[in-house]
Structure 1
Amino acid sequence: MDRLAGELRFYLNRVNEKLWVKPFAACVLSIGGALLAQLANGTGLGGYVPDVSGESVETLLSIMASSMLVIASLAVGSMVSAYASASNTASPRAFPLVVADDISQFALSAFIGTFIYSLVGLIAVKNSDYDAGGHFVMFILTILVFGIVIFTFVTWIDRIARLGRLGMIMGKVAAATAVALDTRKRAPHLGGVPPRDEAAGRAVFTSRVGYLQHIDIRGLQELAEAVDGRITVAALPGTCITPDIPLAYLHNDANNGDGWDPDEVVQQFQIGRARTFDEDPRYGFVVLSQIACRALSPAINDPGTAIDVIVESQALLTRWQEPLSEDSAPDKACCRVMVPALDVRDLFDDAFTGISRDGAGFIEVGTRLQKALRSLRACGDSETQAAAAHHARRSIGLSQEASLTDDDRAHLRAIFEQGK
């Protein structure tokens, strides 16, 4: 069940990024509503409800059909503008998060779905022999759909005004990264166990090129149990896979690697064209860093955004240090699948390497970065302290070569010395 739930969650997240899913569901529900009204015929419902004429239902449906087509076109135009703004002002890598915005997707789906419902309803009313009960059911469904559209439109106006804004995009990236960090903290080895100190087994490669998005640990466990062997995962989600990079190493106590089907092992690794946020916490830090680096470019010259990114990254890395709550205990591990843990040094590299390079000439960015790293050195574990100290020294070194005054360089070094 755990394996099925994990697989289902991964694929549902991919489906949630598609805009056609909810309108398709609205089409199915519209047909269901027309059939429900047909079922009301001959039940005697018409003798207990107000008399609603077919002409009034047709008029309402016609008004909705004509107006919803215009509103849906307006919604599509507004969302396309928001998507373009997200790519131009933040990072194209944040685009999937903007597309997957629940409120905007629901609004667009509601408008298109209402248009579909209106067409289906008009066809049903004009071509079906509805009695008073059927007309009443169609009338109630139409009023209900109309109310949902009005509420959705009012809510969506506020949302679309902020959808493509840089602050909201940064918030979405930070939220997705926080979820990925919490998931990895609950399962530091993705549901497996730490690697052993043993000789490398038989390497498994794939001819595909792309980014590793998901690993079916339960599937690997079943394959290992079938041959009484073990598997060491060599690539974590987010790794760029090429034919020369091993996915895993196969171990067997009797005859190292014999009895395995490498093709079945490869099938447990989901490889795609782009990285995803679900199981790849490093990707969130990469996207945040790219947003900051774009803001620090000479064409934009917005150090304030870089400072905001530093604060977000500091908050995420601090969150990574927090202990697990009692109700977040990890699930039972797959003892035959060995997976390396996430290296905190990689998180620091993804978060601060680009910012310290591109922000070396901004005293305000350097100051905020040194203070953030000083704080992480003070409250983190030994690995976090070492990573923070490394990037603090690197930032100081870059500032020596930047166009800063001697007083600015002395100021940054003073902050660095305070953290020792």
Structure 2
Amino acid sequence: MATLTGISETVLRKALDLWRTLWVRVVLFGLLALISIGLTQVVSPLLPQEWRAYVGGDSADRLLDIVSNAMLAATIFSLTIMVSVYAFSASQWTPRVHRLIVQDPTTQNTIATFIGAFVYSLVAIILREVRVYSDDAALVLFLLTVVVLILVVLALIRWVLHLQGFGSLDQTARQVEDITARELRKRLDQPCLGGHPLGDLPEGVEPIRTSQAGYIVQIYQDRLNEIAEEADCEIYLPVTPGHFVHLGQPIAYVTCEVTDELTRELREHVVVDDARGYVQDPRLGLIVLGEIGSKALSPGINDSGTAIDVITRVGRILSSFEREEAHTGAPTYPRLHVPALDPEDLVSDGFGAIARDGADRLEVQLRLQDVLTGLMTHAEEGMALAARRVAIREYRRAMLAMSFGPDRDRLTSVTTEAVREGAAAADRDDETREEKEEREKREEG
């Protein structure tokens, strides 16, 4: 039963990955149209003869012509808009947001509906021309075409409303924030991907190496646990989704003999690709938000408001963090050992680019220190400590970058005492280190 459950979860996740692609929805809508046309042959003979006389074949033919012509134009129009929005978003915000916008469900459903209606009308016209549909079946065909038209109109209305914000900064940032918060929540609800926190590797483990270089994009931990049970071993994963692995780098260690079958299974369920994905990788979402804010600070755009908005969004996401090792319940996949999320990585991913590129902007630094101060009071000690370290680092960077004295004074006045003291201590350490290096150079000379 456990094996069946594991396989079904893996199959479900792979099915969801397929469902996020446009061609799958188009094919399904097209098949649905063909099935609907076939059902008319079954339903039509069941209707009374006087009902079938209400609508003639010419009425159904005119309606089908309208659908076929309109759907071809609507599909081309929608594809043109979609491609334009993809190119605009990649150039205006960040290329990393392209994959997320491509998977926009409203866009995919709308285009799939248009193409499905187009396929339906073409098949119905062909069947009418070869006399498969007689005038006796015209009533059912007419009513079915009306239903298709209603669905098309509803999809068109939804599409027009969606276009009001499609690809805009606000909607794009919200999409990235939503999927990042969702994937982070999944990681926290299932700590360490459902396994044990990765500690030191035991002696005698055997590595399984990747056959290609790239990013870890997904780990099917449910199936990996089943593989470990079948082989009666433990699996230690040194990498998680988002990590880059070189050719031949170990992607797993096992406590049993490595066979060709085991290697093939592990490589199949630790997926390596050429680009990172948002699924199981909340760090990518934080990086993309940081890139949006960073690009807004470029001289050509000069939009501090967007950077401030992104800082707030990142703060909202990180406020829900819980240390994965804090969960005391039994792991879902006890045969797996997976690294936990590092809160300092999350904070640096979200704020690093904006803090660096906005180091000389007072309004950006004020909001940054405000959000980091809030995270410093976080109930999770690891997140609070990470926020403090980043706040100290970025405060020091800002004090060096700002040339106007009153700006530095204003930033100092709103920065917490703990951050100011930490920055002063770090400055003293740097001075001591520089003095030591200079003294060593003099002694060597």
Q: TM-score, normalised by structure 2?
A: 0.86
Partner of 2:437: none
Question: How far apart, in 1, do the equivalents of 2:35 and 2:237 lie?
Answer: 47
Question: How far apart, in 1, do the equivalents of 2:182 and 2:241 lie?
Answer: 15
The answer on whether the counterparts of 1:221 and 1:334 sit within 8 Å (CA) in structure 2 is: yes
Alignment map for 1:157-172 (pairs within 5 Å): 157-172=160-175
SS in 2 for 1:236: coil
What percent identity do the matched residue pairs reach?
A: 31
5+ unaligned residues in a row in structure 2: which ranges?
A: 420-445
Partner of 2:265: 264
Counterpart amino acid of 2:307? A
The answer on whether the counterparts of 1:296 and 1:303 sit within 8 Å (CA) in structure 2 is: yes
Alignment pair present for 1:372 and 2:376? no
5+ unaligned residues in a row in structure 1: which ranges?
A: none
SS in 1 for 2:196: coil
Partner of 2:348: 349
Question: How far apart, in 2, do the equivalents of 1:306 and 1:296 lie?
Answer: 7
Partner of 1:72: 75
Larger CA deviation: 128-137 vs 16-25: 128-137
Among residues 188, 197, 207, which one is paired with 2:211 in the alignment? 207
The answer on whether the counterparts of 1:186 and 1:329 sit within 8 Å (CA) in structure 2 is: no
Counterpart amino acid of 2:157? V
Counterpart amino acid of 2:361? F
The answer on whether the counterparts of 1:204 and 1:247 sit within 8 Å (CA) in structure 2 is: yes
Partner of 2:413: 414
Alignment pair present for 1:230 and 2:234? yes
Question: How far apart, in 2, do the equivalents of 1:310 and 1:5 lie?
Answer: 39
Partner of 1:294: 295
Among residues 16, 19, 27, which one is paired with 1:16 in the alignment? 19
The answer on whether the counterparts of 2:194 and 2:331 sit within 8 Å (CA) in structure 1 is: yes
Q: Deviations over 1:38-94 (max 9, x none)?
A: 223543543445521011100111111112211221111111221122112211111
Q: Deviations over 1:332-387 (max 9, x none)?
A: 52222111211111101211111111110111111100000000001242211111
Structure with higher Rg: it is 2
Counterpart amino acid of 1:207? S
Residues 239 and 9 (structure 1), Cα distance of their counterparts in 2 relative to 1, 3 Å cut: farther
The answer on whether the counterparts of 1:227 and 1:259 sit within 8 Å (CA) in structure 2 is: no
Larger CA deviation: 307-316 vs 100-109: 100-109
Residues 343 and 322 (structure 1), Cα distance of their counterparts in 2 relative to 1, 3 Å cut: closer
Alignment pair present for 1:246 and 2:241? no
1:331 is displaced (CA, Å) by 8.2
Partner of 1:309: 310
Larger CA deviation: 224-233 vs 333-342: 224-233
Among residues 104, 109, 116, which one is paired with 2:107 in the alignment? 104
Question: How far apart, in 2, do the equivalents of 1:20 and 1:83 lie?
Answer: 17
Among residues 21, 28, 31, which one is paired with 1:28 in the alignment? 31
Residues 63 and 330 (structure 1), Cα distance of their counterparts in 2 relative to 1, 3 Å cut: farther
The aligned length equals 412
1:174 is displaced (CA, Å) by 0.5
Residues 149 and 235 (structure 1), Cα distance of their counterparts in 2 relative to 1, 3 Å cut: same
Question: How far apart, in 2, do the equivalents of 1:69 and 1:290 lie?
Answer: 38
Question: How far apart, in 2, do the equivalents of 1:76 and 1:259 lie?
Answer: 48
The answer on whether the counterparts of 1:37 and 1:133 sit within 8 Å (CA) in structure 2 is: no
Q: Which runs of 4+ in 1 moved over 4 A?
A: 257-260, 328-332
The answer on whether the counterparts of 2:20 and 2:105 sit within 8 Å (CA) in structure 1 is: no
